[in-house]
Amino acid sequence: MIPSSTRYENDTWSCSTNGTRGFEYRSSLAAAAFSLPLGVALFFLVRQMETLGPGSMAINVLLEEAIKIILFIGLILAARTRIWKRILLVEKGNQGGRVNLPLMVPVICIVAFAITENLLYFLSFPTSSIYRRLLYSYPIHINTALLYALAFTLPSALKITLYFIAGVLYHLGLNYLSLRLPPAAIYLVGLGNLVVLLLLYWKIRLKIAQRSIR
C-alpha cells in the first residue's frame, strides 16, 4: 500500500507537470498566432522595398537577410518586456518558455515568409518548377533562420556576427548557383539543403536544452 503522503506528492507533481505542459502548449499556439501573420506581412514589406531599388539579386538577398536579422534582434529584445509575456502567455518562472519562444517566434515568421513567397510564385507560374523551388529555395530561408537562431544561443558577439555573415553568404551563394546549375544538380543541392536543415535543427535543439538546464 502506498503511503498517503507519497500519493499526495505524486499527485501534486503530476498536476504541476500537466499544468506546465498545458501552459507551454498555449504559449506555442499564441506564438504561432502572433508569428504567422507577421511573417506574411514581412514578406510583402520586403517585396515592396525590393521594388524601390535597382532589382539586383545581391541587393535583394542582402535586404532579405538584413530584415531577418533585425527581426531576430527586435523580437529577442521584446522578449524582455511584460507585453511580450502577456501576448505569448509566458508563465512566470517558466524557464523553458523564456528560452524557447524568443527564438521560435522569428523562426516561425520566416517559415511564413517562405511559404508566402513560394505560394505566390506557384500562383504566378503554376508549373513543375515549384518542386525545385520547394527543395532548393524554400530550405534556404529556413536554414538562414536556424543559423540566426543558433547564433543567439552563443555567448560571443564575434561568433554571432560570423553566423550572420554565414547566413548571408549561404543565401547569396545558392542564389548564384541556381542560375548556373542544370536541373538535376539543383535537385542534388536541394537534398543537401535538407541535410543542413536537419543538422541545424538538431544543433539548436541541443543548445536550447543546455541553456534550459543552466
pLDDT in tens, 176-207: 998 888 888 888 999 999 999 999 999 988 88
Tell me how far the alpha carbon of residue 78 is from its chain's centroid: 16
Residue 27 near residue 101, CB atoms below 8 Å: yes
Global pTM value? 0.79
Residue 134 near residue 143, CB atoms below 8 Å: no
Q: How confident is the model at residue 97 (pLDDT cuts 50, 70, 90)?
A: very low
The three-class DSSP label of residue 89 is coil
Q: Worst-scoring range by mean pLDDT, 59-63, 92-96, 99-103, 151-155?
A: 92-96
- Across the range 123-133, mean pLDDT stands at 83
Tell me how far the alpha carbon of residue 149 is from its chain's centroid: 7
If one compares 102 and 167, the residue with the highest pLDDT of the two is 167
pLDDT at 170 over 70: yes
Residue 110 near residue 144, CB atoms below 8 Å: yes
- Across the range 125-144, mean pLDDT stands at 87
Q: How confident is the model at residue 14 (pLDDT cuts 50, 70, 90)?
A: very low
Q: How confident is the model at residue 24 (pLDDT cuts 50, 70, 90)?
A: low
pLDDT at 18 over 80: no
Residue 126 near residue 135, CB atoms below 8 Å: no
Three-state SS across 121-138?
Answer: HHHHCCCCHHHHHHHHHH
